[in-house]
Amino acid sequence: MARPVKYDRDQVVDLATRQFWEDGFAACDVETLTRALGLNRHSLYKSFGGKAGLFHDALEHYLDLVTAPYLMLLERGAGLDDIVAYFDIATRPAKGDGPEAIAELDPRGCLIANTAVEIGRSDPEVAAIVDRYYDRVERGFAGLVMRGQASGSIRSDIDPDATARWLLLTSQGLSVSARMGRADPGLAAIVRAALAPPAHIPLSEKDCR
């Protein structure tokens, strides 16, 4: 009979997610990783497919855990208020327990954006995960924009797909900004103003002659 493992697989992946999120893939060495995870280095290779295999698992875990609330906003939201809420959450300091449990802006940024920059297309498997997430966020934003346009909360003269891409770029830009500890106050408000239908009509044009 085999010796029982000492580690909890889900906990290992969760801790690994945090390590890779903070350090990136290359700068996260196996010694530090296995110590932080409470994992034997042999098990890293035998049960998790090595450092790269664990990294893939961590990416998937990040998508499941960290991005889920954002995706819910995109996929279940009704219109402009949800887009604004998305950027409100993305730009405000996190509180309490959980992956963003810090008192100030999370300098880790977004693990997906960090991975895009660090690894890009040099690892096809990683690239596929990143692409899948980006496609999903883009579709989510596009759907949200279309629903907002249908309900009148978002101006109807903008292309939903192009708008979705811009909003995705904005969120990825926020990740870069966070790595530098830069704050982006007023982003949600400016996004609201940019996407809202025209509300103010110049008085001279409203007056009857």
Partner DNA sequence: GCGATTAAAGAACGTTCATTCTGTAATGAG
Partner DNA sequence: CTCATTACAGAATGAACGTTCTTTAATCGC
Interface residues toward a second copy, by CB under 8 A: 24, 26-27, 107, 109, 113-114, 116-118, 120-121, 127, 130-131, 134, 157-159, 161-163, 165-166, 168-177, 179-182, 184-187, 189-191, 193-195, 198, 200-201, 205-206, 208-209
In contact, 87 and 188? CB cutoff 8 Å: yes
- Taken as a whole, the chain contains a residue count of 209
Told to check if 122 binds DNA by CB under 7 A, we report no
Backbone angles phi, psi at 29, to 5 degrees: -85, 155
List all residues 6 or more positions away from 41 whose beta carbon is below 8 Å from its beta carbon. 30, 34
Told to check if 23 binds DNA by CB under 7 A, we report no
Tell me which residue has tokens 């999120």. Answer: 21
- Tell me the per-residue interface mask from 35 to 54 with DNA, x by CB under 7 A, - otherwise: ----xxxxxxxxx--xxx--
Task: Output the smallest distance, CB 177 to a second copy, in A.
Answer: 6
Q: Residue 14 or 161: which CB sits closer to DNA?
A: 14
Q: Taking Cα atoms as reference points, which of 38, 39, 40, 16 lies closest to residue 28?
A: 16
Told to check if 193 binds DNA by CB under 7 A, we report no
